[in-house]
Structure 1
């Protein structure tokens, strides 16, 4: 790695002061991988230029500023040329040792390593049109290889159109991605490269380490988990296409629970919740030796609010921001950082990718499974939901301490929804309550909306 160090502080190249002393930045460390003549010159050139910008030496790539004397201009050029040569391998450095003007050195490098000939363009165009997925590599590596060809062409003043890039990338994917191509192109006259990239990352984020959906021997639980993630992705893709076509600005949270063979898998997008109410025996206060049965809450999801550290980091990395407007909001608008839809905020880090809680075995103490919208929890704490279910059970059978003895009916969901409404919640109020047997299998679910 080549390292450049800069010093203290920076004068403005745009200044018109005749007494200005031009000083490079120091105390910062820049690392550029040395160019050996065979690696990607376009990327190396970009990194070296960024280094010169950080060192306040980029102006030497042009003509001398009017307010700079010759001695100072010569000093800055010597420093810039030296910094550039430090980023070359020794074998490539020999041809450029005599240059002391940055602009001439830069042109010489481009002439040698970036010949803008029709032969080079033809070679890269052939590589682009014949570009195909190589079995066994990750999707991230596949995309990097594709973008390298695009960048090399751009460095030769050969820009590939946005829609051409999108179609060529889709054409390079293996057959297992045909469903993605169909979804993206259905009913569309044009396709955006950015949308293809976004959907590829979403599709692969929960796939195997190789970055592509795997095949072969998989357990039923693995197949179901993949199917769930794919379904959420397809729902978001379909809705997003409709939203673009019809200029919808709406979106939705999603919380899904799969219950199979006494195990549950939970996936959540947004701030709806899934929770379990567990039967526990606790000592009664002030009564030695006595005990009581209660329902304790176990939250299965974490709210995707923009002020959560990991969520904020993703939003800010995408160019968005979090602003307090009653509650923290993405760009001062959306109160959740993940959602289905909300297409106009996707580029600012709002994601439809669910957070998944892996398969969990139910136990004899797991008595109720509750899935409810965020409006419920606007006025009720999760523990209060379990308390309401316990109270309902006691009313059904005052003599029994078993919270699982009450029958499944919509009255359980009614109780939660009505209580949240009476306590002042005016957001969407939806709840599903599933009483669980000691065997871990559910009875008929109860649901209620308001």
Structure 2
């Protein structure tokens, strides 16, 4: 269901239909007032429209529904922090004021945005409105602007839901979703391949940051620690294991594995649209990074619990990473059934552990206390999903945020060198 071949076949079908109907390259953009990622998007979409021969349809939406934002305050807090980091890296403007715009401010913003739909200067106005929202400045409406924007937002939410997404700052083209600045390059690449670029083969507006894979300059002081919050049921965790280990090795950091239960095993609702988008996104990220992925045996439930019972002991034996890597590769790229003894034995033994010693741990509960501590610690940093990473007090959520972790490692090394007088 989730493979490069299926995706490419669907793309070819969409393009044949577009050409047969002599239709334009239609891109839909879903904008949410009060969403920091949407504020970044309106700063780059004018350039995107200059670079590509597309018809861009702008659709306004309200914040995601409760099922998609189970920890809404943490989501909002982390999104502001993350957007500020992303803006600095991309050369865009966003300042985290430490709080969300008020409901009244967002209402006024939506009134003005609704009136601006269809205007050539929509993005300019949206950027100005967003800047005032985040600066906590008053937004004045004109007399001709209607306050009845509820129908516009409701219609936008219904369109987004019907087409398979739940967030703002999202783009839809030919049945595929692209969330935020981080995934814009995928759409640019696709349109370029279709001959829709107006200037040849343009470089991406925002290139995904890379991380060091060699060895960082030696630093004095204590060995840094990377805390890796992971779940065996997370496909994003599945494609980050090699990279977080390489980053830890490059900086001589101690990689601390902090396993937590998957969201669905913590009582959170994951609807089909969210699961479908995640899996589709992981496929293209794995393809870009050259990471095997796609032969899947979902470990939800008992397989995760069995895995954690062994992982808890493997960490004590100094084999935590080896077992985690073996498990993740097994269930996400090799189709190994971790719920079976044969499958888990294979996963265990190739990690350098004795199956005879590990098998008696299955069904034990010692790992649960550790998982609860890990989960509480993770939540205390305003992140509740995985994979997440922490260096000191700097926490970052997502396999595409390793550059934040690397920046924190660099800052820690610089601080150590300064305090010890190293040159």
The interval holding the TM-score normalised by the smaller chain is: under 0.3
CA radius of gyration, larger in? 1
TM-score by length of 2: 0.24
| Bigger fraction of residues in strand | 1
Answer 1 or 2: which has greater helix percent. 2
